[in-house]
């Protein structure tokens, strides 16, 4: 049986509305007033459930983009058993990160057209204790655990390696949206290739 929009809990309707607007008009135009109107509730009701628009954005990213959960799970994992290679783990992370960035980039891109709005967004996200750097921190932590387990070279730099892998994934997403799919490798080719290059430097 179909569930009517009004019968869904208010937080879910707000997330539905936020996702729809952030994907169609961009984060800059997805105001709390517009989100509340799309959800069929008041702006005051929105603030009963969410601290600010930034919290809605983070929740949409982490709960409504299909690769966010698998990416964070892979980043937070400890060293695997001896049969599970670091290179394979990096390829899995690169695949999820590439798809996650490709999904998130269009939603956030409009922020960069308005410096004042970008500043407010940055401050709002900082108040929540999160931000795009958490992915880098998590991968650096994962690689430190691998090094501590003796699976990386003792001189390997986990943070630099994490930046190289994620930077390549982010660049692929930028090229995908700016120039088109014909200028990037398919993700199933790109992810193992970038993982192999990073692994060669740290093994």
- pLDDT tens digit sequence for 81-110: 544 689 999 999 999 999 999 999 998 888
CATH number of the domain to which 152 belongs: 1.10.357.10
Residue 153 lies in a domain: yes
Rounded to 5°, angle at Cα 65 from 170 and 179: 40
Residue 21 lies in a domain: no
State residue 202's pLDDT score: 95
User: How confident is residue 5, by pLDDT bands cut at 50, 70 and 90?
Assistant: low
Contact 104, 61 (CB under 8 A): yes
Gyration radius of the chain over CA positions: 19
Predicted confidence (pLDDT) per residue in 116-142, tens digit = 889 988 999 999 899 999 999 999 999
Residue 59 lies in a domain: no
Q: How far apart are CA 13 and CA 62, in angstroms?
A: 16
Per the model's pLDDT, the better-predicted residue between 162 and 26 turns out to be 162
Residue 164 lies in a domain: yes
Q: How far apart are CA 9 and CA 82, in angstroms?
A: 46
What average pLDDT does range 167-178 have in this prediction?
Answer: 97
Average pLDDT of the chain is 91
Task: Give the residue among 113, 128, 126 at the shortest CA–CA distance from 25.
Answer: 113
Task: Give the residue among 72, 67, 98 at the shortest CA–CA distance from 174.
Answer: 98
How many structural domains comprise the chain? Answer: 1
Residue 41 lies in a domain: no
What average pLDDT does range 13-42 have in this prediction?
Answer: 93
pTM for the model stands at 0.87
Contact 175, 104 (CB under 8 A): no
State residue 8's pLDDT score: 85
State residue 96's pLDDT score: 97
Residue 10 lies in a domain: no
Contacts of 80 (CB under 8 A, 6+ apart): 89
The region of weakest confidence among 29-43, 111-125, 135-149, 152-166 is: 111-125
Q: How far apart are CA 68 and CA 47, in angstroms?
A: 25
Task: Give the residue among 12, 13, 35, 191 at the shortest CA–CA distance from 101.
Answer: 191
What average pLDDT does range 57-69 have in this prediction?
Answer: 91
Residue 119 lies in a domain: no
Domain residues for the domain of 84 are 67-108+132-203
Residue 154 lies in a domain: yes
Tokens 């961009």 correspond to 26
């Amino acid at each position: 049986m179909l569930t009517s929009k009004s019968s869904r809990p208010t937080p879910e309707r707000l997330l539905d509305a936020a996702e729809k607007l952030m994907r169609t008009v961009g984060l800059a135009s997805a105001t709390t007033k517009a989100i509340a109107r799309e959800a069929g509730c008041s702006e005051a009701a929105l603030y009963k459930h969410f601290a600010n628009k930034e919290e809605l954005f983070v929740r949409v990213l982490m709960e409504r983009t299909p690769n966010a959960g698998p990416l964070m799970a892979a980043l937070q994992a400890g060293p695997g058993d001896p049969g599970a290679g670091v290179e394979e783990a990096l390829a899995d992370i690169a695949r999820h990160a590439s798809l996650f960035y490709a999904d998130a980039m269009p939603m956030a891109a409009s922020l960069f057209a308005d410096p004042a709005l970008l500043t407010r967004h940055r401050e709002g996200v900082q108040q929540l204790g999160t931000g795009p750097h958490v992915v880098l921190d998590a991968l650096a932590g994962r690689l430190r655990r691998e090094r501590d387990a003796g699976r990386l070279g003792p001189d390997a730099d986990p943070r630099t390696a994490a930046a190289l892998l994620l930077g390549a994934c982010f660049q692929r997403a930028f090229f995908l949206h700016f120039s088109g799919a014909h200028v990037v490798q398919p993700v199933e080719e790109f992810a193992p290739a970038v993982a192999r290059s990073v692994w060669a430097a740290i093994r």
